[in-house]
Structure 1
């Protein structure tokens, strides 16, 4: 019998504990606003050069969301609110950045009220009886390259991050269900462009030639190479030949002698396999699967020939010009 009053006291004490206050969404005039809002960023593709530096202070892309609307809550001072991220955005790395599906590409989401901006995540306490998320609010995402070399596989665009809701502002508890604003993004892709360097302009000096030399053909080497860095592991380089002064069959480059004649001499160019190259860029020599930062070498030859059976060029200097057209994939 002595235990009953003790139990009664416990029940009374439990019943007298105050309930915890939480912020309540207010959609009624004159102070209320709209229901929670989803802001969006459309799908986009980032384009970057393979030699772009890895730099956490240098954005490679920035995208801004659609605008919000006023979202208002009636609160009690001390209630909490804040910002959080979620998948498909990856885990945090450093400097308030987050990993993506491409190692070396990171995203920093930003929330703005129109007057102030903040990074993710964060938690704050309510200091008045109301919290307003203004209509001027929006999100943005900053994209950074944080690794010297990327490991890409799709020249049409590798997926950096899939579509989905990646960030939200919450109130009362950290949960996507308690959002006031949230950010829905479309799929983000990236395309890297190889960066190449050529070993300089090439000229072929035939030195002094005679009628006999020209009759037999005077051959000189025309070697060149280029080196490309790529985020796709290897690259393919093709080289073709083009001139503004072709012979009628597009097989030779016309040569102009010291008197301005262009029908006395011609030049044939052979590729690394000894096959004549047309001079209208209609056929190319292709070097495939060259490792990044490794030279693609071309060992061509240029042969000076007579263009007619009887007429000889005038004594003096002669010249011809053509362009090597390079393409890299």
Structure 2
């Protein structure tokens, strides 16, 4: 999250999930979701809790959300943080946040298309396959079903938020400027940067990232939970970033803006390296400690001592401090 979108409006989420939100409320919620990966994950978590509440129309958004909030509050009271894992992600819906340009192709140019465009406001619509799409202002999407290839193809100009209907027999493909993404059953985000690079980030499941001009099954790769792939426009190259590597790339920027630290199934060594960068301290892990221990949680506005206490208690470890250095040891060590 950032200063412009500091927190989620739970009433807005409830109204959106119940179909009662107006255009302004939807637009504000989408801005919040798109402002960070952490916000997108939190929205997905709310969505799952909403689905599990078994609320059906006619909706009373306030009453329904109270059931969801109860579960959320119980989770947040635990170590003043919430745990994110692949188990929290519903498999039936694919959420995509996309900001890309048209990729010129003739693959479906002769096919009947469904096209929608927004002017000075946002537009909520449903694609022929049952997927829903929320277009930001000054955006356009073209959709076609290729009966020969048995694929669903979406091309976007501008920015949109997709909720893609699961269909394992008919792949859903999003085309970007220098490449594209083939949905294999997952939740992920796609973002084209100002220099036309395309960043793909997978929250859960897996996707196939490919170059636009590549032949079938070449110049492509599969990325899965917590991984990122960068399609570089300058040299038509795809670079894969593991959770450990990508977690440290923008840690200073993310922490300085949000004061939020998120660990997604991260190993102990990477966690401590991340904390060192955020708090400008030295952290040493004893040789007897298993550095492959993994931990998932999110912290906001917590002190380093609070975070280390949660981590070490969860993993049955201990920590001590001498001057500006923290030492991580096994819980039964002296």
TM class by shorter chain equals: under 0.3
Q: Which has the larger radius of gyration?
A: 1
Larger relative contact order (C-alpha < 8 A, sep ≥ 6)? 1
More helix by share: 2
More strand by share: 1
Structure 2 length as normaliser, TM-score?
0.22
